[in-house]
Amino acid sequence: MNNLILIFPEIFISLSLMILLIFGVFKKKSENLVYNFTILILLALLALVVNLISTNKTFLFNESYISDELSTFMKILIIVSGIFVMMSSYKYLKLINILKIEYPILLMSSILGMMVMISSNDLIVFYLGLEIQAMSLYVLASFNRDNLLSTESGTKYFVLNALSSGLLLYGCSLIYGFSETTNFNLISSNNINTINYGITFGLVFILVGLAFKISAVPFHMWAPDVYHGSPTSVTLFFTILPKIAALTVLIRFLYIAFGNLIEQWQLIIIFLSIASMIFGAVAAIGQKNIKRLAAYSSIGHMGYVLAGLATGTNQGIHSSIIYITIYAAMNIALFSCILMLKRDNKYYENIDDLSGLSKNHPLLSLCLLIILFSLAGIPPLAGFFAKFYIFMAVIEKSMYALAIIGLLSTVIAAFYYLRIIKIIYFDPQKEKYDTDHHISLKISLFLSTLFILLYFIYPSELTNIVSKINII
């Protein structure tokens, strides 16, 4: 019974969802209340998860559900990111007239799915969590129904991700058929030092499905269009939270279920990593829309995360977790800036709209400068440390080619980040943007930028927390 306390956060968020939905349906014009209550529920959820921090690895429900340091850390990261997304989005949703009760409820529902994914130690539980998450995201992508781009992005996301979910399910059924179990621990013990083509194919199909979810090349084709067409607050959600959940599943799947078959999947992960890094750096150069650029930037960043996973070491896993944490902070900061680019209650998303921003908005320009330098990996900002840990893990494993390609793609990516800085500081100024931003958006930008800027003072704090996560 004591162990059931470990799933109390999931029970709490499920009950909260039901109560909010009933409240929102029966009380007219309750959008603001539901939205504020959702933030409070997420804060309470964060407190619950933090309270359950334990060094013990505990299994529930016949070892299909796991509570350990990895699941706790990733849940905290997901909830904190979710709170920041909610804080940043309020004014934007209100102005474009899509602040409805369904929005925060769908957001919370997808967070519930992600929490189930993070703690899954079984293919069925993982797939259940994935579908809870995906069903909410399909609706969120096309939430702005009056906008043609939004409905198009929702359709594309639904079709392509339904395809990836189908491939993933097929991979799960193959693994179940040949290993006679869906439990990660049992899959590992049933396949010690054996090469079975059925299991290999199952492994490949699941990796393809998960590569879709994190938009790794060559399964990235949905990301630019969906990021561009979705409401900006939804794009922010897409860039961070599903990737954290998918990364956690990848770690468990590769290192627990198939840790003894590293030679079967290592080359696949290396290929995905190299292709994502190069493509993300090159394809972003010609982009004119900030959200499309963020999509290609996200593809490139996922390449670095996968490079850490490809090492097959605890150090590599730690570097990938640190990278995704810093990446989350950088994206929250970047999109907070994008959500401030409004004039006469109209939002601007083109890179040219940043022209001469420094003349009228020096503080916003300074924040953007810090964020873009960090994304480019320039020391001493947080983005530099994220890449540094990845390269250290890769070089430690003597994977020099991967490190060199990663370094070259960083240099290429720096070009388009520096181009935006040039536009902000040296191009002719445009009309002044509105400054009546919601206080929560300002707080979100301030805290995330401060983290990026001051991370170098105590980099060991995050490293010490992550180093307690031992998978291998």
Query: How far apart, in whole angstroms, are the C-alpha atoms of residue 114 and residue 384?
Result: 28
Residue whose token pair is 């079967």: 264
Q: What is the pLDDT of residue 191?
A: 61
Beta bridge mates, 342: 347
Which parts of 193-261 fold into alpha helices (H)? 197-213, 223-229, 232-252
Q: What is the pLDDT of residue 374?
A: 92
Q: What is the pLDDT of residue 195?
A: 63
Q: Is residue 472 part of a domain?
A: no
Q: From the centroid of its chain, how far is CA 79?
A: 12
Please give the structure tokens belonging to residue 371: 């964020």
Q: Is residue 281 part of a domain?
A: yes
How much is the pTM?
0.93
Q: CB neighbours (10 Å) of residue 149?
A: 15
Q: Taking every pair of C-alpha atoms in the chain, what is the biggest distance, in angstroms?
A: 66
Q: Is residue 76 part of a domain?
A: yes
Per-residue exposure over 280-308, b if at least 16 CB sit within 10 Å of its own CB, e if not: bbbbbeebebbbbbbbbbbbbbbbbbbbb
User: For strand 58-60 and strand 65-67, is the pairing parallel, antiparallel, or unpaired?
Assistant: antiparallel
Closest by CA to 208, choosing from 198, 220, 197, is 220
Query: How far apart, in whole angstroms, are the C-alpha atoms of residue 417 and residue 428?
Result: 18
Over the chain (472 residues), the average pLDDT of each successive run of 10 is: 78 91 84 88 91 77 87 92 90 84 90 92 91 89 82 87 89 88 82 70 90 87 87 89 92 86 87 92 87 90 92 90 93 90 83 84 89 89 91 90 91 88 85 83 90 87 85 76
Cβ neighbours of residue 288 closer than 8 Å, sequence gap 6 or more: 350, 351, 352
Please give the structure tokens belonging to residue 321: 């977790």
Element (H, E) at 109: helix 102-118
Number of folded domains that form the chain: 1
Q: What is the pLDDT of residue 40?
A: 92
Q: What is the pLDDT of residue 58?
A: 82
Q: Is residue 139 part of a domain?
A: yes
Q: What is the pLDDT of residue 450?
A: 92
Query: How far apart, in whole angstroms, are the C-alpha atoms of residue 47 and residue 75?
Result: 11
Query: How far apart, in whole angstroms, are the C-alpha atoms of residue 187 and residue 56?
Result: 22
Query: How far apart, in whole angstroms, are the C-alpha atoms of residue 301 and residue 68?
Result: 26
Using CA atoms of 441, 446, 448, 452 in order, give the dihedral in degrees to the nearest 10. Answer: 150
Q: What is the pLDDT of residue 194?
A: 58
Decide: 128 and 151 in contact? Cβ < 8 Å.
no
Decide: 60 and 6 in contact? Cβ < 8 Å.
yes
3-state secondary structure of 381: coil
Q: Is residue 316 part of a domain?
A: yes
Element (H, E) at 346: strand 346-347
Interhelix angle 69-95/31-51, nearest 10 degrees: 170
User: For 258, which DSSP code?
Assistant: S
Interhelix angle 382-396/314-338, nearest 10 degrees: 160
Q: What is the pLDDT of residue 1?
A: 52
User: For 352, which DSSP code?
Assistant: G
Query: How far apart, in whole angstroms, are the C-alpha atoms of residue 123 and residue 443?
Result: 39
Q: Is residue 201 part of a domain?
A: yes
Decide: 12 and 45 in contact? Cβ < 8 Å.
yes
Decide: 150 and 228 in contact? Cβ < 8 Å.
no
Q: The domain containing residue 326 runs over which residues?
A: 2-467
Q: What is the pLDDT of residue 92?
A: 86
Query: How far apart, in whole angstroms, are the C-alpha atoms of residue 301 and residue 313?
Result: 20
Query: How far apart, in whole angstroms, are the C-alpha atoms of residue 208 and residue 200?
Result: 12
